[in-house]
Structure 1
Amino acid sequence: MILDVDTGVDDALALLLAVKSTALDLRGVTCVAGNTGLEAVVRNTLRVLDAAGAPLDLPVAAGAARPLLDPPHLAEPDATQTAEHVHGADGLAGVDLPDSARPLDRRPAVELLRDLLLGAEAPITLVPLAPMTNIALLLRTYPEVRPKIERIVLMGGAVNGGNVTAAAEFNVFADPEAAAIVFGAGVPVTMYGLDVFYSVRVSAAEATAMAASDVPSARLAGQLLLFRMTGEADSAEIGDAGAVAAVITPDGLTTEALPVRVELDGRYTRGATLVDRRAESDKDWDPHRAYPAPVVDVALGVDAKRYAAIFVDTVSCP
């Protein structure tokens, strides 16, 4: 698999799980602006890979610093919209990790993705956990890689409303055109969206024990999870790491193949993933029926306890 990340707290949890899992063969990591700016994303990614004990020859590349068409979105008139209120000012909850001497691949992310896919002996699963700008650029620039992609398992979208707006989830909202390209690329896609994202949770007791661990990956995971437990919360979601768990154990997800469109034009709904759950008989009068939407495997349910156990056990292993 290859991860595409905008490393904030939950991307960090996903990186820890992907590196530590013996069930996965992580071939590379690409970075994109999202939760924080690209420079901070790269810095955070390298530091987390060190904590996870990733091999030094694991290639890591920097990619897109902004969406395909939009300027970086504005949360306030004078502030770039990242997700610092969720991930901390540095994107990594203020956890004091040492600077990394790990080398950054000289290739842009899109070229690294191309080279890894075309050079692989078997198809690779792509796991975008961020705005999908890098993946869209890859698919449009190098369409010859599509047969080498086994599946795209993405964290993004939602059936029942968003988080950054009432309609749109953050990763899709941050670059809707990129998401539309990825959904419509003709590659098998699993949408691990908000409908399952918040369900896989680690308890405060488990997180506290992890934070006190001598295992660097467990200690970092525990610190990040405790950061997410605000107020009287007694648990925190593993977020993006759930999408990695879905690659490890796909049968822990309940999915349905459904048509999905990304809304590009709506004033209040731009970035929404419109998941069509109507019966076929209800579509007779649809004026868009001549232009069918891409069919995506949409996650509607998750074995939350199983995925949480996979995360805790894997990341805590020395």
Structure 2
Amino acid sequence: MRPRPLIIDCDPGVDDAIAILLALASPAEFDLLGITTVAGNVPLALTAANARRICQLAQRPDVPIYAGCPRPLLRSLTTAEDIHGATGLQGAELPEPTTPLQAQHAVAFLIEQFTTTPHPITLATLGPLTNLAVTLIQCPAIAQGIDQVVMMGGALGGGNVTPAAEFNIYVDPHAAKVVVDAGLPLTMIGLDATHQVMTTPERLTALENLGTPVGKAAAGMLRYYGQLDVERHGLAAPPLHDPCIIAYLLRPDLFSGRPMRLAIETEGSLCIGRTVANAYPTAAVPANATVIQTVDAEGIYALLTERLGKL
């Protein structure tokens, strides 16, 4: 079968980096057309540099990387250095990237790809949805070139940056609203699913035991990443968010969910960024997304470890 055309929109970030590595380790399944970056976990200059560092680590300088929007549509930028470290990739000693950043803006790249592709493209979104929202605003016709959008974001229950909101949606709720309301074939993998995928000591050791530069870097980043979440949310181990998106595209059988009607709260101070999901859509208010609720965490980590061992 033809590899799936894929674009990754992200804000690296440790878990974004692991997700990118998983995609790079799966060339038979993915034709990775490019990586677009947005401000989120760290500012745009760092997310763009970090994507380049990860591709360099994986010895994939052929993957083009495009910098996108440096701030949310309407709000000031919120970042997450407390989770990912000052550089965004705390725990790994990675050299300065030598692969150049593409001159084209990420939004222009997305418009070009989605309006000219002979085969519909899958978009994996791992960060705030600013780039995709601006793309939709500038050129609604991109929808014709999208096979599906699989996003890491949102939560059916409580949030991780406020009691109501998950980080990616909270950073740019207005962009999330544009995307959710656009009528795209959308799958949401939120905190309810990703909090099931925990980086236990045994899983971390398996990555370290790969004995490769990629394995050591991945284990180093994951050893640092998520410790604050463990303390803040009382989790047994740090959760792994963004790689679930790539794992879903590789092994959808490891996930289960149902159609729901999503809406994004963009007003008020207490609940801004909340993902409001109606699990019982009707003909009058139909579903606009598939929402993943359960995952096979052991299967996901086995897949991740096996694939990273190939880099």
Q: Normalising by structure 1, what TM-score?
A: 0.89
Among 270, 277, 280, the alignment partner of 2:279 is: 277
Among 86, 90, 100, the alignment partner of 2:83 is: 86
* Larger deviation, residues 299-308 vs 175-184: 299-308
Maintained 8 Å contact 2:114/2:144: no
Maintained 8 Å contact 2:37/2:47: yes
CA offsets 1:145-182 (integer angstroms, 9 cap, x no match): 11110000000001011111111100001000100111
Alignment of 1:146-161 (within 5 A): 146-161=143-158
Among 292, 298, 302, the alignment partner of 1:309 is: 302
Matched, 1:210 2:216: no
1:294 deviates by 5.7
Among 111, 115, 123, the alignment partner of 1:114 is: 111
The number of aligned residues is 300
1:50 deviates by 0.9
Alignment of 1:1-318 (within 5 A): 1-21=6-26, 22-54=28-60, 56-72=61-77, 81-211=78-208, 213-228=210-225, 230=227, 235-278=237-280, 292=285, 295-318=288-311
CA separation of 1:206 and 1:273: change in aligned 2, threshold 3 A? closer
CA offsets 1:199-253 (integer angstroms, 9 cap, x no match): 1234323323423544222221111121136489875433200111001112221
Name the CA distance, whole Å, in 1 between partners of 2:294 and 2:205. 27
Name the CA distance, whole Å, in 2 between partners of 1:223 and 1:303. 24
Percent pairwise identity:
37
Name the CA distance, whole Å, in 1 between partners of 2:260 and 2:287. 8
1:122 deviates by 0.8
Matched residue SS, 1:200: coil
Q: Which position in structure 2 is the counterpart of 1:77?
A: none
1:272 deviates by 0.2
Q: CA RMSD in A?
A: 2.0
Matched residue SS, 1:112: helix
Name the CA distance, whole Å, in 1 between partners of 2:288 and 2:298. 28
What is the letter of the counterpart of residue 264 of structure 1? T
Name the CA distance, whole Å, in 2 between partners of 1:211 and 1:142. 44
Name the CA distance, whole Å, in 2 between partners of 1:87 and 1:242. 18
What is the letter of the counterpart of residue 122 of structure 1? H
Unmatched 5+ stretches in structure 2: 1-5
1:317 deviates by 1.8
Larger Rg: 1
Name the CA distance, whole Å, in 2 between partners of 1:15 and 1:119. 24
CA offsets 1:108-155 (integer angstroms, 9 cap, x no match): 000111222233221011011000000001111111211110000000
Q: Normalising by structure 2, what TM-score?
A: 0.90
1:3 deviates by 0.5
Name the CA distance, whole Å, in 1 between partners of 2:100 and 2:115. 22
Matched residue SS, 2:31: coil
Maintained 8 Å contact 1:261/1:293: no
Name the CA distance, whole Å, in 2 between partners of 1:194 and 1:239. 8
What is the letter of the counterpart of residue 38 of structure 1? L
1:197 deviates by 1.0
CA separation of 1:263 and 1:218: change in aligned 2, threshold 3 A? same
